[in-house]
Amino acid sequence: MTAVSIRGLSKHFGQVQAVQDLTFDVPAGQVTGFLGPNGAGKTTTLRMVLGLVRPTAGEARIGGVRYAELRDPRRVVGAVLEATGFHPGRRGRDHLRIIADAADLPVERVDQVLDQVGLTEASRRRVGGYSLGMRQRLGLAAALLGDPQVLVLDEPGNGLDPGGMAWLRGLLRDLAADGRAVVVSSHVLAEVAQTVDRVVIVNDGRLRYDGPLDELAGADGSLEAAFLRLTGDAADAGPGRVTHTPSPATPSPAER
């Protein structure tokens, strides 16, 4: 089942072509790694998916509709794009209660997501005293408030220690096992290789690979080697070269 569908998505900022004719799908029940070097167009793409940036051409749909058309967006998609935007004088619990109230979500969800991300004991502390890793967890809690079926996470492991990274890996795998679509953008390729089912690689705003992780990593020996080959050779590949023809998403165990 396709949760997010991207077709011909492009974005130009003046003469700069940040994203060029991207087409790929994100399946439900799997973790999809969205990878590329700095400046590849990843964040711009995610912002277009979430309705924060207007595409120059093409479209992105979540559950068959554009983000702006979702009647109750927080119950459909949760997102973490950066661990900022928190009032430093506000307590973590209060930050989530304000979001829940604004989105007409049950207040009980606040305690549930605090427990889910391991912030219950710190929830009455002011966010200004949180570490970067704690702010990442608070952002994840906010994304999970609506119990969404799609999660879009940009560098969610920033600031997490090794134990936190292992916890995050388990959380993302559990969310996918529940049938959710999880999109993770990250530069930590070793961690991505332990977490994702599928990989989408972009460079210079163009699609370079879309397919299963095992097919990509198996051909080159590792995800890192494949990533460096695809992004390092992009200038020689010619415009629009895709090294893997997108195939229908592998059904999750629940769909088989």
Three-class secondary structure of residue 59 per DSSP: strand
Ordered by start, the domain boundaries in the chain are 2-67+151-255, 77-147
What angle (nearest 5°) sits at the alpha carbon of residue 34, between those of residues 32 and 40?
170
pLDDT of residue 240: 37
CATH of domain 2-67+151-255: 3.40.50.300
Tell me how far apart the alpha carbons of residues 157 and 177 are, in angstroms, rounded to a whole number. Answer: 20
Widest distance between CA atoms in the chain? 54
What is the side-by-side strand order in the sheet with 181-185? 77-80, 150-154, 181-185, 31-35, 198-203, 206-212
Of the chain, the percentage scoring pLDDT greater than 70 comes to: 90
Single-letter amino acid, residue 66: R
Structure token pair of residue 152: 């879009």
Q: Which residues contact 57 (CB under 8 A, 6 or more apart)?
A: 8, 9, 10, 21
Q: Which residues pair with 13 in a beta bridge?
A: 16
Q: What share of the chain is helix, strand, coil (3-state, %, to 5)?
A: 40, 25, 35
- End-to-end Cα distance, the chain: 11
Using an 8 Å Cβ cutoff, are 92 and 122 in contact?
yes
pLDDT of residue 83: 64
H or E stretch including 212?
strand 206-212
Phi-psi region of 221 (alpha: psi -120 to 50; beta: other; left: phi over 0): left
Nearest to 146 by CA among 93, 185, 107: 107
**Mean pLDDT (whole number) for 112-120:** 96
**Mean pLDDT (whole number) for 3-13:** 97
Residue range 74-110, pLDDT digits in tens:
999 999 987 667 888 999 999 999 999 999 999 999 9
Structure token pair of residue 110: 């606040």
Tell me how far apart the alpha carbons of residues 94 and 237 are, in angstroms, rounded to a whole number. Answer: 51
What is the side-by-side strand order in the sheet with 16-27? 16-27, 2-13, 57-62
Output the average pLDDT for the chain.
Answer: 89
pTM for the model: 0.87
pLDDT of residue 256: 34
Dihedral pair phi/psi, residue 239, rounded to 5°: -65, 135
pLDDT-derived band at 199 (thresholds 50, 70, 90) equals very high
pLDDT of residue 252: 38
pLDDT-derived band at 247 (thresholds 50, 70, 90) equals very low
DSSP string for residues in 154-196 = ESTTTT--HHHHHHHHHHHHHHHHTT-EEEEE-S-HHHHHHH-
The yes-or-no verdict on residue 144 having pLDDT over 80 is: yes
The yes-or-no verdict on residue 204 having pLDDT over 80 is: yes
Higher model confidence: residue 244 or residue 117? 117
**Mean pLDDT (whole number) for 144-150:** 97
pLDDT-derived band at 219 (thresholds 50, 70, 90) equals confident
The yes-or-no verdict on residue 241 having pLDDT over 70 is: no
pLDDT-derived band at 236 (thresholds 50, 70, 90) equals very low
**Mean pLDDT (whole number) for 216-244:** 70
The yes-or-no verdict on residue 242 having pLDDT over 70 is: no
pLDDT of residue 220: 86
